[in-house]
Structure 1
Amino acid sequence: MNSEKKHKKKSKMERGLTNRHVQVMAIAGTIGTGLFLGAGRSISLTGPSIVLVYMITGGFMYLMMRAIGEMLYQDPEQHTFINFITRYLGKGWGYFSVWSYWLSVVFIGMAEITAIAHYVQFWFPSWPSWLIQVVFLTILGLVNLIAVKIFGEVEFWFAMIKIVAILAMIATGIFLVLTGFETPYGSASLANISEQFSLFPNGGMNFVMAFQMVFFAYLMIEFIGVTTSETKDPRKVLPKAVKEIPLRIIFFYGGALLAIMSIIPWRELSATDSPFVTVFELVGLKWAAALINFVVLTSAASALNSTLYSTGRHLYQIAHDSPNRFLKAIKADTLSRHNVPQNAIIASAVLIGFAAFINVLPGVSDAFALITASSSGVYIAIYILIMVAHLKYRKSKDFMVDGYLMPQYRLLNPLTMLFFIFVFGTLFLQESTVMGARGSAIWIIAFGIYSQWKFRK
């Protein structure tokens, strides 16, 4: 049955995000900072087959977005897709998910604000890190507090910077290959990719380990689902934004990586330097390092801006669904005269702001690094829960037959969950991620049990 009016509740938040905002944010949401800085490292792991890793991982992330998109299409009034976990899996798992997700995004915000200070110090090394972080957090906090339309405009231009940088890389690659441009490593050519191609040039384990690195490059791809309740005509905008994810992944990730490896043989690429900087310097752009630093700075600022938006909406939802004394005291469940969850945004921003002071305390800084790493694994658990919720939705009376349906869900939904479990398993196989994996496993088990106990019948 068509359940368009089921579970519908009035949303007082302003629908200030336009199709233009959402479509560009959806593109940017699939492009992480890691592409600009970490592409060399990921390529060094498994060579040209890294493109396959990006495509496979991106494909499963797309399937997850189809599941989220289907449920949001049925009920576009939701402020967060986490609500579907509560609705279809119960209050216990909903409580676990909303708090875990909020904290995970807060930690992402802390990591981004730390990165912002690092990028600014590229030009101004004497500026104190904590001051840079406080200034950026204040500015972007104000952007989120003014109006959702302002947030949309800022995100639009942040996104455009990333998009233009990747388009420039792809265009440069095409031009250099067509002209046979000579580099210190030989001629730019597709032969740099095809000659002596091997699916596992550095062994099967490195190919497997590449999945976790690529997976985390896609984190926050689900952010577009958080914007639905503040989007004009969500049932028109949402399917378009989700449907184009595969093309964006193929074009932006595949195109950029193939361009890089066509210009420079992959074995010659540095695992630590940005290949974007290397390529642009090869064509005579002496200020390439400064350019890419600007791109990643805006990318990190965009991520911080999005985390403030997301954490504010999620804390607002928590205040409604699971209120406690603190949330009531700060009135986290109220909206400002601009129809934004002002107090929830401020509370989230204050917590993110602790990163400015945590990073100057050595002992605390190490613990923070472990917690941040642990939150990445928790993300995977939430992704799995949303897929389980989708299966429950399909069997519920809410199911919208004429909605935006996930294709072949009986096969592809469980397959997506298996992929997420696989990625989580790879975290235990590498020394640099095993402690974070253990931390996330402890959180999932301990907080999961507590959440179920709290809402036991």
Structure 2
Amino acid sequence: MSQENHKEETKELKNGMVRGLQNRHVQLIAIAGTIGTGLFLGAGRSINLTGPSIILVYLTTGLFMYFMMRAIGEMLYYDPDQHTFINFITKYVGKGWGYFAGWSYWISLIFMGMAEITAVATYVQYWFPTWPSWMIQIVFLLLLSLVNLIAVRVFGETEFWFAMIKIVAILALIATGIFMILTNFETSQGPVSLRNIYHNFEFLPHGWMKFLMAFQMVFFAYQMIEFVGITTSETQNPRQVLPKAIKEIPIRIIIFYVGALLSIMAIFPWRELPVNESPFVMVFKLVGIKWAAALINFVVLTSAASALNSTLYSTGRHFYQIANENPNQLFEKMKVNRLSRAGVPSRAILFSVAVIMFSAFITVIPGISDAFALITASSSGVYIAIYILTMIAHQKYRLSEDFMADGYLMPHYKWLNPITIAFMIFVFISLFLQESTVLGAIGSSIWIVGFGIYSQLKFRK
């Protein structure tokens, strides 16, 4: 490696962090960030809700998430040293809402991390059923903590290979579907054909309510799509990497989500698709892979580990930002507002890990585990509030003196911004339509109103 390249690679940001991520890391993280574990396990359930029109739900939701990413991308392009989009809420919407968004986002990520580490333990127990869940959770947390603490480049390399496993699994499913269609493959359900998708087609086979409920399920499959924006500040050339990573989001949605769903529905008539079994497992079993269940369990294990790895990366940086923006004696004593020699917010990461580690003990206590499930569900609704604040921040940025006319501009922002905000509100309302999400919707509403008022009062002067 030349001295010039080495200098570029280790170039520091204003806040002392190191640009250690390469373009290939971010591009794979961007691809994997649009693919949730739910695709592997819950595709049958989402197809069952509303049939082939689920593709329209995925495309519509994906489009609005893309609009949001264009807004985040424009602001990060203007100031590529920012390692979190929350800073823009503070700057353009106000300190009160910035404080609300910073703490809410960090807490939501913490609960997401708790849910992910619990899922990791479940997937490991597929092979080792006698291993205690709490022990698996602690070991995985310690391993991924090391990945995040050593250097950002180690995180990038780990995430690169986690992402590769997910991508290969989906491409294998799509290739299998194409092969079956071209060879007129016969299954126990009949011939594999695109006719299985449109035969006896009904746009709303289970009514409008199920169709509307599908939006919130799909919306949360895209959750954490904004993570690619968080990583770009630690890349070597953020203004080159960021536009490419965001521009390709629509094509990734079409290939990975639409391609996978079309393949599944071509192989199985969608009305016969069981909701309690992974369609990926069923497809690979059909082509003679007897260990298909173990294979997909490995894929979802790496997918959950990848999500947890990304969560640790993100929680550490957000808590570091909170500690710097709201200095106090406790943060000074904990030293969470400082970086390690490798340019990593190690103390902030370790504190976040310690909080997430509580999940190892919470889930074994009766009663508390139910409360934990409610809080986790509530954090999903809070996420929507943060996304809405981000769109408002972008609108205010466009009207500010900071506006960079030759930057990576979001097209037609004057009408796309309010439409995107309206869509987010619609998804939030849809949380009240389903019994499994209504308690979480109420919980998140209480948090948004209560903590929102507190944050405004705290900074009213």
TM-score, normalised to structure 2, is: 0.97
Which SS does the other structure have where 2:367 is aligned?
helix
Which residue is 1:153 aligned to? Answer: 157
Between the aligned partners of 1:206 and 1:322, the Cα distance in structure 2 is 44
Between the aligned partners of 1:414 and 1:329, the Cα distance in structure 2 is 43
Which residue is 2:8 aligned to? Answer: none
Amino acid of the residue matched to residue 330 of structure 1? M
1:116 aligns with 2:108: no
Which residues of structure 2 form unaligned runs of 5+?
Answer: 1-11
Between the aligned partners of 1:233 and 1:135, the Cα distance in structure 2 is 35
Between the aligned partners of 1:218 and 1:329, the Cα distance in structure 2 is 37
Alignment of 1:132-171 (within 5 A): 132-171=136-175
Which SS does the other structure have where 1:38 is aligned?
helix
Between the aligned partners of 1:181 and 1:126, the Cα distance in structure 2 is 40
Which residue is 1:188 aligned to? Answer: 192
Match of 2:281 among 274, 277, 282: 277
Which residue is 1:47 aligned to? Answer: 51
Match of 2:438 among 431, 434, 437: 434
Between the aligned partners of 2:339 and 2:175, the Cα distance in structure 1 is 45
Which residue is 1:129 aligned to? Answer: 133
1:203 aligns with 2:207: yes
Between the aligned partners of 1:50 and 1:82, the Cα distance in structure 2 is 32
Alignment of 1:37-76 (within 5 A): 37-76=41-80
**1:324 CA displacement:** 2.8
Which residues of structure 1 form unaligned runs of 5+?
Answer: 1-7
Which residue is 2:402 aligned to? Answer: 398
1:415 aligns with 2:414: no
Amino acid of the residue matched to residue 147 of structure 2? V
Amino acid of the residue matched to residue 431 of structure 1? E
Match of 1:35 among 24, 36, 39: 39
Which residue is 1:289 aligned to? Answer: 293
Cα contact 2:70–2:410 (8 A) shared by 1:
yes
Which residue is 2:9 aligned to? Answer: none
Cα contact 1:145–1:342 (8 A) shared by 2:
yes
Amino acid of the residue matched to residue 376 of structure 1? S
Cα contact 1:78–1:228 (8 A) shared by 2:
no
Between the aligned partners of 1:228 and 1:455, the Cα distance in structure 2 is 30
Between the aligned partners of 1:150 and 1:175, the Cα distance in structure 2 is 37
**1:326 CA displacement:** 2.4
Which residue is 2:19 aligned to? Answer: 15
Between the aligned partners of 1:325 and 1:440, the Cα distance in structure 2 is 30
Cα contact 2:108–2:382 (8 A) shared by 1:
yes
Aligned-residue CA RMSD (Å): 0.9
Between the aligned partners of 1:336 and 1:74, the Cα distance in structure 2 is 27
Which residue is 1:3 aligned to? Answer: none
Which residue is 2:331 aligned to? Answer: 327
Between the aligned partners of 2:293 and 2:330, the Cα distance in structure 1 is 46
Cα contact 2:13–2:19 (8 A) shared by 1:
no
Amino acid of the residue matched to residue 13 of structure 1? M
1:351 aligns with 2:351: no
Between the aligned partners of 1:82 and 1:110, the Cα distance in structure 2 is 22
Cα contact 1:96–1:451 (8 A) shared by 2:
yes
Which SS does the other structure have where 1:362 is aligned?
coil
**1:309 CA displacement:** 0.1
Between the aligned partners of 2:383 and 2:458, the Cα distance in structure 1 is 22
**1:196 CA displacement:** 1.4
Between the aligned partners of 2:329 and 2:445, the Cα distance in structure 1 is 29
Between the aligned partners of 1:183 and 1:261, the Cα distance in structure 2 is 13
Which residue is 1:102 aligned to? Answer: 106
**1:329 CA displacement:** 1.5
Which residue is 1:362 aligned to? Answer: 366
Which residue is 1:339 aligned to? Answer: 343
Amino acid of the residue matched to residue 216 of structure 1? F
Does the C-alpha gap of structure 1 residues 160 and 367 become closer, same or farther in structure 2, counting only changes over 3 Å? Answer: same
Between the aligned partners of 1:132 and 1:57, the Cα distance in structure 2 is 35
1:218 aligns with 2:207: no
TM-score, normalised to structure 1, is: 0.98
Cα contact 1:319–1:333 (8 A) shared by 2:
yes
Which SS does the other structure have where 1:126 is aligned?
coil
Between the aligned partners of 1:9 and 1:302, the Cα distance in structure 2 is 25
Which residue is 1:247 aligned to? Answer: 251
**1:150 CA displacement:** 0.3
Q: Identity across aligned pairs (percent)?
A: 73
Between the aligned partners of 1:180 and 1:416, the Cα distance in structure 2 is 42
